[in-house]
Structure 1
Amino acid sequence: MGSDCKSCHQLPLNNYTSIPQYLRGNRWVLTGYRVNYSVTQCLFSIFQCSNEFFNIWTHLAGFFVFAVLFLSDVLVKLPYEGADWSDYAIVTATLSTFAFCMLCSTGFHVFNSHSRNCYSVWLAVDVSGVAIGALGCYLLGVYYGFYCYPFWRSVYAVMVGLMCLIVLAAQVYDALSQTHNTLRSVFLFCSLGAVSVIPTTHWICLENGLESSLVRLLLPKVFIMYFLLLLAVVIYLSKFPERFFPGKFDFFGHSHNLWHLMVVIALCYWHRVGLEIVHIMLHSKCNHVKLQ
């Protein structure tokens, strides 16, 4: 697959054996590396075939997807649901964090070939985007999951905000000090996701467990979100499929490409679930809680 792109090479591309150590993140991707590009060359390489091309465009396209979803939500869907200012604020904040995550990732993959220092700065930006994107996922879930329980909504909002801030600070420090470790980074973000079991379990208890039609409706959707993110992490760590076919997926279809796609799919799915919860909460007006 890698050899099919030779006609696209307008800027110099390098093999794995000739790139600096900081760019050696995947030894099964053998070709297509950009090294020591100027800022102008980095920007021009957005349109050039390289092993970063699909990484750039999946999340650049993801940014525009979330921008369109924002316009659709605030101009059509939320007015139709009779939403108030707080609903607009939460949906806007959530989609803004998703879009911010996409832009941070895009920036990293555009400029990581400039220099070692530029790589570190943009890596800090990238991991910041991931932490902010995770906060957006929590924001939507906590606000509407505990829509009828304002005290617990506040408790979990503060808890999640502090956790995201701690993870963000740790990741940015590692990136800027050039001590970033992929496994440690994945562990931190997975831990941040795993903690969601606490508010999820509490929400199930507050809603009277599986006897609640609301729980039976929404819990499978939460599990699907967990599955999508877990699958993304497994693909990212396993380096599938290039581990089994070195050099065959250098330009398109390697694990980081798939990781990017899975993240966009997961965030779009969570947004759709969020709108479903918005509809339920705005129309039920917490009547199910008053009857308990």
Structure 2
Amino acid sequence: MSPGEGGGGAAVNFRKRSKRRSNNAAGATKDQPQNHEDSCYYQSSSSSSSSASNYESKKKRIRKKKGKGNNNNVRGSSKRFELMSYWELPEYMKDNEFILNYYRADWPVLEALFSVFRWHNETLNVWTHLIGFVLFVGLTMANLWEVPQVADLLGFFNRSTFSAAANVSHNFSAETTNFVHDLKQITSQEMNNIASPGDRLSVALWPFYVFLAGSMFCLLSSSICHLFSCHSHPLNVLLLRIDYAGITTMIITSFFPPIYYIFQCDPRWQFIYLGGITLMGICTIITLFSPKLSSSKFRTFRALLFASLGLFGIVPAVHASVVNWGNPKRDITLVYEVAMALFYLTGTGFYITRIPERWRPGCFDLAGHSHQIFHVLVVMGALAHYAAILVMLDWRSTLGCDINITL
């Protein structure tokens, strides 16, 4: 081959290579997101893929630092406690593949504790239930100290107030008077057992405080679980079990006040319903203590198990409606209880379906994802149930047993 031919061939090859580069560049441009809806996914996936490629080298550097025994350097290293992507997580922490970034993993307990004041994808999960816990502590204290203005926090929903020792409002007194007048068919012996509108009967408050204690335990255990489950695999499993026990305890204790007060004049039904829900709850806790059932694969099973516990309440609810058919406060109580059921069931739906992060992965990593919505709805459901119990207490402390038509 002559020098001239060789030079011409090199020029042709150079032009071909240039053309291939331009085609590749065009293809890369074509792959970029074309609208805002895809931007969350592309930004998250690009940053996550690059960080995933460096994951092993990061782990080696961290192990090397640990091997030197210089704890101060490890603690002071900002890289050691950086937030990471879903692909960098240990397998035991991979629960929701639609939340792509801002994870914590293998953090010391002290760092995990102080992360309550940092932004990560568990921050709002911690605070939604932590605020709910503080709220229920305040309500408990207000009722123990008999501060009706604080105890009746839900007065904007209904004007009826809770107080076993407070005076009955004028409206409720009028309603009670009309109700007693309508019961003129009741025998004189039964009428003697009905308290007059101005009198207050002694009512046991322990079922009410059982519900408040169960709610506080659930909300606090949930906050602790979301805050410290990033520490290690053994602690993660332990806290998840406590969290499931807290949810079950809240469901069980929610049954105590309505069943106790509605069936106070018929202890047989108290025993049947409270014994049944308690036994179901204990079996649920034992079942969920299995490490296998704590994995994300059984997420739907856990949600259905909790939902079945709640749906058990349909039977005593129908029974209570018949027993209290003439109760003037029946409709108000039912409205609150239906609201509670809707809040809980809607929250469970978000928990199972993982909406909205399923629709736009990466866009709801910090705020607005399904578990945060679930937490808010749980607190709202507990408050609705609290309001229903206030009405039951006010009614039971005003009227005697024999106005009930027991089955």
TM-score, normalised to structure 2, is 0.65
Q: How far did residue 10 of structure 1 move? A: 9.8
Q: Does 1:197 align with 2:267?
A: no
Question: Equivalents in 2 of 1:128, 1:100: separation in Å?
Answer: 9
5+ residue gaps, structure 2, are 1-39, 44-78, 147-162, 168-199
User: Over aligned residues, Cα RMSD in angstroms?
Assistant: 2.6
Q: Which of 130, 134, 139 is matched with 1:64 structurally? A: 134
Q: How far did residue 42 of structure 1 move? A: 1.0
Question: How big is each residue's C-alpha offset from its partner over 1:86-131, in whole Å with a ceiling of 9 and x where there is no partner?
Answer: 21x2222211111011111011111111111111000011001011
Query: In structure 2, what is the equivalent of residue 219 of structure 1?
Result: 334
Question: How big is each residue's C-alpha offset from its partner over 1:165-213, in whole Å with a ceiling of 9 and x where there is no partner?
Answer: 11111112346986972111111111111111111122223335xx654
5+ residue gaps, structure 1, are 4-8
Q: Relative to 1, partners in 2 of residues 1:174 and 1:205: Cα closer, same or farther, differing over 3 Å?
A: farther
Query: In structure 2, what is the equivalent of residue 16 of structure 1?
Result: 86
Question: Equivalents in 1 of 2:129, 2:80: separation in Å?
Answer: 23
Mean CA deviation greater in 160-169 or 211-220: 211-220
Larger Rg: 2
Secondary structure, aligned partner of 2:204:
helix
Return the structure number with greater helix share. Answer: 1
Q: How far did residue 148 of structure 1 move? A: 2.8
Moved segments of 4+, more than 3 Å = 81-85, 174-180, 211-217
State whether residues 340 and 380 of structure 2, in contact with CA within 8 Å, keep that contact through their aligned partners in structure 1: no
Secondary structure, aligned partner of 1:284:
coil
State whether residues 63 and 103 of structure 1, in contact with CA within 8 Å, keep that contact through their aligned partners in structure 2: yes
Q: Does 1:269 align with 2:396?
A: no
State whether residues 344 and 381 of structure 2, in contact with CA within 8 Å, keep that contact through their aligned partners in structure 1: yes
Query: In structure 2, what is the equivalent of residue 137 of structure 1?
Result: 254
Q: Which of 185, 188, 204 is matched with 1:86 structurally? A: 204
State whether residues 207 and 215 of structure 1, in contact with CA within 8 Å, keep that contact through their aligned partners in structure 2: yes
Question: Equivalents in 1 of 2:88, 2:298: separation in Å?
Answer: 22
Q: Relative to 1, partners in 2 of residues 1:187 and 1:108: Cα closer, same or farther, differing over 3 Å?
A: same
Question: Equivalents in 1 of 2:122, 2:262: separation in Å?
Answer: 38
State whether residues 221 and 246 of structure 2, in contact with CA within 8 Å, keep that contact through their aligned partners in structure 1: yes
Query: In structure 2, what is the equivalent of residue 260 of structure 1?
Result: 375
Query: In structure 2, what is the equivalent of residue 120 of structure 1?
Result: 237
Q: Which of 339, 356, 366 is matched with 1:251 structurally? A: 366
Question: Equivalents in 2 of 1:75, 1:187: separation in Å?
Answer: 39
Aligned length: 284
TM-score, normalised to structure 1, is 0.89
Question: Equivalents in 2 of 1:217, 1:248: separation in Å?
Answer: 40
Question: Equivalents in 2 of 1:53, 1:218: separation in Å?
Answer: 35
Query: In structure 1, what is the equivalent of residue 398 of structure 2?
Result: 283
